Chain A
Amino acid sequence: MKKNIFLVMIIAFLFQIALNAGEPGKIQNFTLKDYNGKEHSLYDYKNAKAIVIIFVATQCPVSNAYNQRMEKLYQDYRDKNTVFLGINSNKQESAEEVAEHAKKNNLNFTILKDPGNKIADRFNASVTPEVYVLNSNFEILYHGRIDDSRRGDNIQRQDARNALDEILAGKKVTVAQTKAFGCTIKRVD
């Protein structure tokens, strides 16, 4: 009898693994406040065709080099059933600082504060700026850089934009993962 229970437990465990493996990179719901104190839940955006999540910083020169390009991306896609959520997970950057930085740099998309970097941990995000593009099922379809030129003077590939276009057109994302240099997300100890 004990043997049977043990067997059932093993099968249930393996089934669970198989189930999880069937949903690669699906993000569970989370709720964070923006810099004005308003709560946003990921699952509020289940009707969007694409959700762009960008881990950003106020003090990182690389993230700052992308301010205008992030805003342009937001302006170009905001009317295309696409949601933009910036997330600031840096422990030393307060909500007030994020608000001031957004105002100064004319960033009009929502920026959430991630206290204790819990959401950065969930995404396994480590660098700013770092982009994740999710579909309406909250699966990660693109992860990586905005484009391939930190300075913006020699852009050959606009990877985030390309992925978004493909997702909105119902196509498979050709380049689903890219890498670029940036600043480490400063986590709590």
Chain B
Amino acid sequence: MKIKFFFLAALFVLPFVVFSAQTEKIKIEKIDKQKLSSLLKNRKGNALFINLWATWCIPCREEFPSIVKLVNDYKNKPVDFIGISIDYPDEIDSKIIPFLEKQNANFANFVNGFEKDEDLIKLLDENWNGALPATFTFDKTGKKISFLEGEQSYNSFKKEIKKVIKR
């Protein structure tokens, strides 16, 4: 009787568990100067790969699947991946999350929460004019190793990641 009840209960609950796992909502937080600086500084032994993108940026959308693939390929390696969307915070639900869901994004993404766009650009690279997409790698001590401007291929990203986790 007990077993039968348990089985029935499981049958009843299971669809809800599966459903909630499937629709686990992607959460997007704002990243500001303080948060990004601390992320760059406190590496905890891992290198860092940062990609700046926007839903309105065609080459950003084109290179995004390569990053998703790299996150899978480097799952247990000492490198963290983060994305920063340059869309506006009031576009999280209408644009950012739908895009990330469509891409099956498997890494932490933030939305630009800097008071001035210029401060975010300068914090990442003084020579950067703000062209998107842009990718930066930092080694485990927080030292910047590369700045890639414009659309990159899977192999070009991979080369930079290999370089940065070796250090």
Residue from B57, B122, B130 having most chain A Cβ neighbours under 10 A: B130
B159 → A minimal CB distance (Å):
18
Chain B interface size, under 10 / 10 to 19 / 20 to 34 / 35 or more? 20 to 34
B115-147 interface bits toward A, Cβ cutoff 8 Å, 1 = contact, 0 = none:
011100110000011111100000000000000
Q: Identify which of residues 111-147 in chain A touch chain B, using a CB-to-CB cut-off of 8 Å.
A: 125-127, 130
**Contacting residues, chain A, for B116 (C-beta < 8 A):** 148
B56 engages A182 (CB within 8 Å): no
CA distance A62 to B57 in the complex (A): 9
Would A182 and B130 count as touching, CB distance under 8 A? yes
| Contact between chains at B58 and A181 (CB < 8 Å) | no
Task: Please determine whether A182 and B131 come into contact, CB atoms closer than 8 angstroms.
Answer: yes
Pick from A125, A127, A184: contact of B59, CB under 8 Å? A184
Contact of B121 among A179, A183, A185 (CB under 8 A): A179
Q: In this assembly, does A94 line the interface, its C-beta being within 8 Å of a C-beta of chain B?
A: no
Is chain B's binding surface mostly helix, strand, loop or mixed? loop
Q: Across the interface, which residues of B come within 8 angstroms of A186, CB to CB?
A: 59
A59 to B57, CA, bound (A): 10
Evaluate contact between B58 and A182: CB separation under 8 angstroms: no
Asked if A180 is at the interface of the complex by the 8 Å CB criterion, the answer is yes
In the assembled complex, how far is the CB of residue A130 from the closest CB belonging to chain B, in whole angstroms?
A: 7
A contact residues around B117 at 8 Å (CB): 148, 150, 179-181
Judge if A152 is at the interface, Cβ distance under 8 Å: no
Give CA–CA (A183, B132) in the complex, Å.
5
Residue pair A183, B149 in contact (C-beta under 8 Å): no
Contacts A127-B131, A178-B118, A184-B149 aside, 18 further interface pairs with beta carbons under 8 A come to A125-B129, A126-B129, A126-B131, A127-B130, A150-B117, A179-B118, A179-B130, A180-B117, A180-B118, A180-B130, A181-B117, A182-B130, A182-B132, A183-B58, A183-B59, A183-B132, A184-B133, A184-B151
Q: Which 4 A-B pairs have the closest CB atoms?
A: A127-B131, A184-B131, A61-B56, A181-B130
- Can you spell out 22 A-B residue pairs with CB atoms less than 8 angstroms apart? A59-B58, A61-B56, A125-B129, A148-B117, A150-B117, A179-B121, A179-B128, A179-B130, A180-B118, A180-B130, A181-B54, A181-B117, A182-B129, A182-B130, A182-B131, A182-B132, A183-B58, A183-B131, A184-B132, A184-B149, A184-B150, A185-B131
